[in-house]
Amino acid sequence: MPDFALRGMSPALHQALKSAAERNHRSLNREILARLEASVGPTLLDIDELLARVESRRARTGILELDRAGIRRLKDEGRA
């Protein structure tokens, strides 16, 4: 696998990428690679894997499934 150095990155861009990497639980290098990979072409989406990830995150965060009535109720209560 080829390696290369990335020169000329502004401090603001470096900090933005570093913050994004932390939010995404990645190293700075992995964040840059993920963004480059996403920008060069479409990837096939595995719907079953995506749904499993969504369900896993929902279970960890406790996010509720809401319909229109539930969203309206939260808005009326000042919570949305």
For 31-63, the pLDDT digits (tens) are 999 999 889 977 788 899 989 998 888 888 776
Q: Does residue 4 surpass a pLDDT of 60?
A: yes
Q: Residue 46: which residues within 8 A CB-CB, separation 6 or more?
A: none
d(CA 72, CA 67): 9
What is each CA distance from 42 to 4, 35, 37, 39, 45, in whole angstroms? 24, 12, 9, 8, 9
Look up the pTM and report it: 0.51
Task: Compute φ and ψ for 32, nearest 5 degrees.
Answer: -65, -45
For all residues of the chain together, what is the average pLDDT? 87
Residue 25: its pLDDT value, please?
Answer: 94
Q: How many CA atoms lie within 13 A of 27 on its CB side?
A: 3
